[in-house]
Amino acid sequence: MQPAERPFPHRRGLIIVATLATAYVASHFFRASNVTIGLDLMRDLAIGPEALGALTGAFFFGFAAMQIPCGFFFDRFGPRYTVVGMLIVACIGGAMFTLAPSWPVLLTGRALMGAGCGVMLIGSMVVISRWFPPDRFSTLTALVLSIGLLGNLAATTPLAWASEAVGWRPVFGAVVMFTALATVAIFLVVRDAPPGHPFLSRKAEPPGEMLKGLIEVLRNPRLKPILALNFCNYACTFTVQGLWGGAFLREVHGLSPIAAGNVLLCAVVAYQAGMLVFGPLDRRLDTRKWIAIGGTSAIILQLAILALFSHPPVWLPVAVIVAMGFFSASSTMVMTHGRGIFPDRLIGRGISTMNTSVMLGVACMQTLSGIIIGAFEPLASGARTEEAYRALFGTLTLVLIVAVAIYSRSQDVKPSEEMRAAGR
C-alpha cells in the first residue's frame, strides 16, 4: 500500500495534528482576550473605544499581513520550520504586550502576536491535507479549532478571575511561556508529510514560479465568491464574541465581569460543540456550500435580534450570544469549501489567501466597530449606550446579508466528488 493510501487514522499524523492544535490554544487566547480585559485596558491606559478597536484589530492586521508570505514559506520550506519561526515572533510580541508601558508599545506587541500566530491554522491545514485523505479534512480541521478554542475558554471567566486576582499582565506572561514551550514541542514532533509523500521529494520552486502560483490562485474564478463570505463571516461573529460582547453585557445589561465572562465561556463551549457537529456534516450531507449558507443565515437572525429589540430581558441577549457561538462554527465549512478548489502544489498559497481574507475582515471590522461605538455620546458614567451597540449589531447584520448573497453564486465542492477524483 502506498503511503498516500494509508487508512485513517494515521497514528503519527494524529500526534502531529494534536501538537499543532495544542500550540493553537495560545493564538485563540491572544486574539480573544480583549473581550474580557477590554474595559481594564481602556482604564489602565486611558484610551477610548476607538483605540481599543484599533488595538484589537492590530492582532488581525498582523495576522493577515503574514498570510501570503507564509503561504510561500509553507510551499517552499514546509509547515514545521515556518510555524516554529513565526511562533518565536509571537513570543516576542507577547512579551512586549505583557511589559508595555504605553499604548503604542501595546499596539506593536499585539500586531507581532498576530503576525506570529498567523501560521497556526494554515500550518495545521497543510499538514492535515498531506497526512490524511480529503474527506477527513473538515473533521480534523474542526478538531484543531476545537482544541484551540480552549484558549478562548481561558480568555473568558478564567481570565476575568485571574485578572481580578493578580492583574492581566502576569496572566499574559504565563501564556507567553506556554507558547515558548509549545514552539519547542512543534520543532521536536511535527513532520511536514508522511514518508513517501511527493512533497518530501519535491524540487523547490524558484521565486518566480512561486509568484506565478500565487497569481494562479488569485485568478481562480471559483475563489471570489468564497472570499466574500470568508471576509465577513468570522469578522462579524468575532466582533461580538471577541471584542464587544462582554462590554455589551456589562454596560447595557448590568452583568458583573465574572458573569459576563461566564456567558462568553458558554459561547465558546457552544462553539466547540458546533465544531463537532459541523465538522463531519459535509460528509453526511455531501455539500459544503449549503451548510455554510445555513449556518450564516442563523447568525444573521441572531444579530438582527440584538439590533432590533430594545431593553429585552437579559436572558435574550445571553441566549443569542451563546447560540451565535454554536452557529459560528459553520465558518469552518467555508474554508473547507475553498480548500477543495486548489491542487496540492498550491495548497499553502491557496489556504493562506483565504485566511488573509478572514483576518483582514476581522481587522477591518474590529476597527470599524470602534468607530461605530465611539460615534455615540457615552452616558455620564462613561458607559456606552444601548443605541450604540444596536447600531453595531445592525451593521453586522447587513454586512452578512450581502456576503451570503455573493457567496450563494459559488460552485459547491462535494466530498464525494473529491474522493472519486482521488481514486478512493
The DSSP code sequence of 64-117 is HHTHHHHHHHHHHH-HHHHHHHHHHHHHHHHHHHHH-SSHHHHHHHHHHHHHHH
Total residue length of the chain: 424
Q: Does position 401 have pLDDT exceeding 90, yes or no? A: yes
What pLDDT is stored for residue 249 in this prediction?
93
Average confidence (pLDDT) over 351-367 = 83
Task: Go through the domains of the chain in sequence order and give each one's CATH number.
Answer: 10-193+205-421 (1.20.1250.20)
Separation in Å, CA 291 to CA 28, 214, 218, 231, 322: 24, 28, 24, 17, 19
CA proximity to 68, closest of 350, 262, 372, 421: 350
Instruction: Work out the end-to-end distance of the chain between its first and last CA atoms, rounded to an integer number of angstroms.
Output: 13
- Least-confidence region, from 28-32, 171-175, 226-230: 28-32
Highest mean pLDDT among 39-48, 187-196, 217-226, 401-410: 401-410
| Residue located via cell numbers 499585539 | 110
- What is residue 6's DSSP assignment? P
- Least-confidence region, from 4-8, 137-141, 269-273, 277-281: 4-8
Specify whether the CB–CB gap between 393 and 307 falls below 8 A.
yes
CA proximity to 239, closest of 383, 52, 66, 424: 52
Q: Does position 322 have pLDDT exceeding 90, yes or no? A: yes
User: How is residue 154 written as a grid cell?
Assistant: 481561558
pLDDT digit string, tens, across residues 73-115: 877 788 888 999 999 999 999 999 888 888 788 889 999 999 9
Largest CA distance in the chain: 72
Q: Does position 9 have pLDDT exceeding 60, yes or no? A: no
Q: Given pLDDT bands bounded at 50, 70 and 90, which one contains residue 2?
A: very low
Q: What is the mean pLDDT of the chain?
A: 84
Average confidence (pLDDT) over 380-386 = 82
